[in-house]
A and B are shown apart, each in its own frame.
Chain A
């Protein structure tokens, strides 16, 4: 066992973990933060994407011990209290989800994309989400959702 301290959604946790524990399992099983999902075992699907020190990572391909001392944001920590993040709102408004299983990872990847490129074209949105698989939506409404969020965030920033 190794002792790690990780700040998750603004709260600090110190836990003993097996060195082989993946970050996603640490979040889900040690912290009961089950919003981050596991959809594959080969790092393809992106359902597990979280932010670590402000950068999106696949938490199924990150060891919990690598997050020692880091600050992690999961889907549970994206909204500002009861005020949804623009991306959450966009996915809701544009029907960007059906079963919802890929959605947390999709939103976290999109958040990283918009941070680096606040005005993406549709092609850039698609390129930015290439590491996230969705089997329900055919992606069209995901593109619309991200576009909605980008516009909203830009409007808010301009105000």
Chain B
């Protein structure tokens, strides 16, 4: 039997048949007999003292089982899992339900449990909460000023941390420079908007003490661990299942108040309960992303040679900090600010600021899109001022030569070919032709723009030791167990979690290759703490590089074990056994062989078996990489700007990605498409806006522009792999690249289109209104 190589094949996904026929099982689809529904009453005020809550009328409402307020429940904190070193971090205390004070709209003040959601909502309308409003601050730069409203006692000027990173001699770099480009850049607040809102269902069995939580999340083991640490529930009594999950984009990593409340309430009532977030709640109470204001100084020689970079960033953290929040605008941002460039010196400072807004944490790319946008936008401003072609100023400054390359940020880039990638992109995507078309269009009064962005990111997150040095409260290895059943069928258990990424397909591909078994014989299990050993979950483009490698190593261990069993059966030395196409044979004597199935069966029978070998055919690996992986690439955007209306139309979007070796090109391409769409969304449409009273103006899909199908272009995607040495498959990661690289490409294209109008920069999003205003101001 010859097993076809699966690595590199564009297999269609085995997840899809259930999802295209309506048989997916998202949390709200799971049928739980007797389940009661929870409605959370949330604060309409952004900052207020709660002076009284009267729940009596709600409790008397027919169909209501119970109404909870902060007084009825223990003060369980919503945890922040990071304590940044040397940053004077002061983590604000924030609890799963407010007692005396609220600090953002959407904070939970009461929970109604009722027979159905309509009844719970009706009853919640009868709860009378009296608030005494307090002054509000929503803007990070205003929040740090003296006299600004203070959110917490002991956190002066609302500064939750002040983080710094430096490398090289920054003063000498600036002293020797001929030109310094200064720019204030806004990286606006975004709302992740996974299509499935959050949902949690809990069922407590009072006879056994077992509690099951169905939770739409990206990392069920971490959710279980945190709930157990915070509530005292034993980790072996809580089962967390993340079934089909309708997208995450970072927002479903964190432990929120709602999971803690559902856990607490189902246990208290010994009744199954369920909470399903409405989209309006999602806007208010699921983490947001980005929200930086940065002051950038980039120093150059007149030739275009980069000398140094100084960045001061105000990162709006919202009213409290969820699990990864402090890492995002610091170690996931500052350490990428040298990009693909040979930057001699860097100084970055990030001030984390609390405001009366929803918490900001990881959103697709998490820190790296902010770094990439900043660097790539300012490179274009510099190219314009120095009168150098944007491609050439990049080429001049690329890191060239040997890898690994230690960047000035302290990041050790594993592999890459930045100039080769750019050259390939320019040639394949017709950069020169587009310049000619642009000139032709201009002659006819049309404003085409061409924008480049050369991104790098650190993913395959990450070596546990480095995460520890960054102040992270977890290790970020991953686990993979492969169980080969006596019949030779395979079940593999991964700690990674798929919420659209297609692991059930891709992980089966890589196991099929290594184990030499047919793809169809391999099943992947994920997302259930009672089945999977442990896992860190999926984010930071880590699933294949870390989780896939754990499975690969388990498969390799099984092959080694199989060789020992075959050697025993064939009366040969294990060192002389080779394994190929599902057959163990003696080197040089292919007729002396044992099939995979025979070996596996003997591992379970153990009748004729090596004395020093355990029976069974199952192996486990906990893989902790020694470095991140560093995907890189070149994106090129073509846009047209209507000078009369300011409307930007994205015409084409080209991607040349180095994500290392590509396991499944169909899925990798899909990840690029989706990532690019979110990056274009930030560039052109999306903007989360709070008014000065802390009301979320963009609080629905009517007001917040999740891009529609008519607002996005076609994409051309190509891969230019430079294998990573950080893992045996040479893979890097592709989940976030599209988002990280695309925003600057679009923004640069828009500025390029407007280059004859004396417009240097327009802050995001580049809506018709913002562009039109800039055009008018420049006249």
Contacts and interface: CB of A to CB of B under 8 A. Distances in A.
Given A32-B31, A47-B195, A138-B715, A98 B670 contact: yes
Contact of A136 (B195, B278, B280, B669): B195
B31 to A, nearest CB: 6
A79 B21 contact: yes
A74 B22 contact: yes
Interface in B658-695: 666-667, 669-670, 673-678
A75 B677 CA distance: 26
Interface stretch (B98-106, B126-134, B243-251, B454-462): B243-251
Interface in A2-43: 18, 20, 28-29, 32-42
Nearest to B29: A34
Contact of A132 (B197, B709, B715): B709
A99 B700 contact: no
B20 interface: yes
B29 A91 contact: no
Contacts of B673: 137-141
Contacts of A38: 28
A98 B501 contact: yes
Contacts of A103: 19-20
A52 interface: no
A107 interface: yes
Contact of A130 (B16, B25, B670, B710): B710
Interface in B622-638: none
A21 to B, nearest CB: 8
B710 A88 contact: no
A129 interface: yes
Contacts of A35: 21-24
B118 A20 contact: yes
Contacts of A47: 195
Nearest to B672: A138
Contact of A126 (B244, B501, B709): B709
A115 interface: no
A93 interface: yes
B485 interface: no
A110 to B, nearest CB: 11
B279 A98 contact: no
B432 interface: no
B502 interface: yes
A150 interface: no
B701 interface: yes
Interface residues of A, number: 55
A95 B26 contact: no
B246 A99 contact: yes
B706 interface: yes
- Most B-side CB within 10 Å, residue of A28, A34, A88, A126: A34
B195 A135 contact: yes
Contacts of A88: 20-21
B137 to A, nearest CB: 29
A100 B16 contact: yes
Contacts of B718: none
A99 to B, nearest CB: 3
B756 to A, nearest CB: 30
Nearest to A125: B709
B773 interface: no
A55 interface: no
Given A101-B247, A129-B709, A133-B701, A91 B279 contact: no
Given A130-B709, A138-B673, A42 B22 contact: no
Given A95-B666, A126-B709, A138-B677, A41 B279 contact: yes
B34 to A, nearest CB: 14
Contacts of A33: 22
21 contacts: A35-B22, A40-B700, A41-B278, A74-B22, A76-B22, A91-B20, A92-B12, A92-B16, A92-B17, A98-B501, A98-B674, A99-B195, A99-B247, A100-B500, A101-B247, A104-B22, A134-B195, A135-B195, A136-B674, A138-B674, A139-B673
8 smallest CB-CB distances across A and B, nearest first, come from: A35-B22, A101-B246, A138-B677, A100-B19, A99-B500, A98-B500, A75-B22, A44-B701
